[in-house]
Structure 1
Amino acid sequence: MSEKSLAEKFDFTDDSVVVTGGASGIGRAVCETFAAHDANVTIADVDIDAAETVAATIEEEYDTRALAIETDVSSYDDATEMIETTVDEFGSIDVLVNNAGLSTGTSSFLESTPEDWDRAVGVTYFGTMNCTHAALSHMVDQESGCIINYASDSYKGNDPSLAVYGGAKAGNVAFTKNVAKEVGEHGIRMNVVSPGTTETPATEEWLAEYREKVLESYALNRLGKPQDIANTVAFLASDAAEWITAEVVSVNGGYIRG
């Protein structure tokens, strides 16, 4: 039997893909990229109106199925219900992209509060664990599946103002590497994408003030676009990456600082 062509390795026809935080920014780009490669997509987001808009756009533009589910990933019950609804609707869960994340919104750790930590860690780290736990039983039964989690350059300790967020992202890295080695025997792959500074609605206000300073840290002299990250996610989920697991892939335009 001949080897699949590269195009065939990026064919997600009838695959079921879940993207948390999929209603805007990087998450939306990920949803649309998988839909463009013929996957059925679940957009899981706390903003159900925006998620429904993305779902309608996907179904109209890409002629595939899309499901919007209101989901707070920090709630295990929400995460489980979202995964079960996806499986009921699409028949499987083939790819889970734990895109949802949240910072404390404060300029320093000292200014943050335990309530800030609970919310940021709840979405960014526990959200990853909740959705992964809910999806894995189905993937084990299928003997296949791919999970992509997120870090960021802040997990390396490069952003003092993002101590809690960076800590949660570091947790995602350790979590992914360890669980990947538990489930590999079931044909399940898990990897981490670590984006550099990316232009999204969430970073728009901050970049309006700091863009020129931030650009000094990138060898390619531009910031990331959501599609840059989505392309990497799609690659890691594809058959082209079938021998890659438990790895962290930085997508950061040649970030210069150590």
Structure 2
Amino acid sequence: MLLQGKTAIITGCSKGIGKSLLQTFAQNQCNIWACSRKPTEEFEVLIEQLTSKYNVNIRPLYFDLAEESEIKEAMSTIFSSKQNIDILVNNAGVTSPNALFLMTPIQKMKEVFQINFFSQIILTQYVTRLMVKQKSGSIINISSIAGIDGDPGQLEYVSSKAAMIGATKKLANELATYNIRVNAIAPGITETDMIDQMSNEILNVNLTQTNMKRLGHPNEIASAALFLASSMSSFMTGQVLRVDGGR
């Protein structure tokens, strides 16, 4: 069990990649603060099932990443537990309909950046204060190959994911002295509800450009995160792992 005795904070746990992260980390004996924007019966049932099946402590935590006050309140709840935080996975994020730069309102760009970048940085800043005291930790940012390759359209999404890659490299440099590792994962097109906003034409172009000619599965992204969270990657920091089927 790669994460036995560890405690993680994972954002965006209720669906997609976040749900697979929750399942994979629990299976590897990790205690988890499972963050989501709002409660659902399905999510609560999943937590109960994973807690019972793997005998781990999974606590749901609900807050809106668009609201800094809610992030602060959630972190106060975590801090009051007086536990170490060994792992942070910044997974939650939003996308937007594909549109050209000239057709995208600045307000929409600000909204996407608030969720995909600024809220993640605020959360990371809170958690890092704990990790610095412990002199250990692993931070994993879920970015996107779009932030590397600069896909056409969705300037706000592409730019926000590129910003997280830049932050990953900068924080890796700054935090290494405290034995805190910071890495990122850049998934390719993955089978989540985010692809529902893609036209069939764009989806087919992406599949054509992917050597394996298929979508990624959320559990494949979660497996890469498990590697980065565990001691198996103990000499890795400042890296961006592409999990994209060979695009």
TM-score between both structures, scaled by the size of structure 2: 0.92
Deviation at 1:79, TM superposition (A): 2.3
- Paired residues in the alignment total 246
Structure 1 contact 197–224 (Cα < 8 Å) conserved: yes
Task: In structure 2, list runs of 5 or more residues that go unmatched.
Answer: none
In the other structure, the counterpart of 2:4 is 13
1:248 aligned to which of 220, 240, 246: 240
Superimposed CA distance per residue, residues 19-38 of structure 1 (whole angstroms, 9 cap, x where no aligned partner)? 11111000110111110001
Task: In structure 1, list runs of 5 or more residues that go unmatched.
Answer: 1-9
- Structure 2 residue identity aligned to 1:55: I
Deviation at 1:17, TM superposition (A): 0.7
1:227 aligned to which of 210, 219, 225: 219
The CA distance in 1 between the partners of 2:169 and 2:159, in whole Å, is 16
Distance 1:12 1:204, change over 3 A: same
Deviation at 1:163, TM superposition (A): 1.1
Distance 1:82 1:240, change over 3 A: same
Whether 1:22 aligns to 2:22 is no
In the other structure, the counterpart of 2:38 is 47
Structure 1 contact 20–45 (Cα < 8 Å) conserved: yes
- Structure 1 residue identity aligned to 2:3: F
The share of aligned pairs that are identical, in percent, is: 28
Q: Map of 1:1-258 to 2, 5 A cutoff? A: 11-49=2-40, 51-89=43-81, 91-204=83-196, 206=198, 210-255=202-247
Deviation at 1:78, TM superposition (A): 2.3
In the other structure, the counterpart of 1:3 is none
Runs of 4+ in 1 over 6 A off after TM superposition: none
- Structure 2 residue identity aligned to 1:137: R
The CA distance in 1 between the partners of 2:46 and 2:33, in whole Å, is 10
The CA distance in 2 between the partners of 1:235 and 1:87, in whole Å, is 26
- Structure 1 residue identity aligned to 2:11: T
Superimposed CA distance per residue, residues 143-196 of structure 1 (whole angstroms, 9 cap, x where no aligned partner)? 111100122111124421221111011110111111111111111000010000
RMSD of aligned alpha carbons: 1.9
Structure 1 contact 149–193 (Cα < 8 Å) conserved: yes
Deviation at 1:233, TM superposition (A): 0.4
* Matched residue SS, 2:101: coil
- Structure 2 residue identity aligned to 1:235: F
* Matched residue SS, 2:3: coil
Structure 2 contact 97–198 (Cα < 8 Å) conserved: no
The CA distance in 1 between the partners of 2:230 and 2:199, in whole Å, is 32
Structure 2 contact 188–243 (Cα < 8 Å) conserved: yes
Residue range with higher mean Cα deviation, 243-252 or 48-57: 48-57
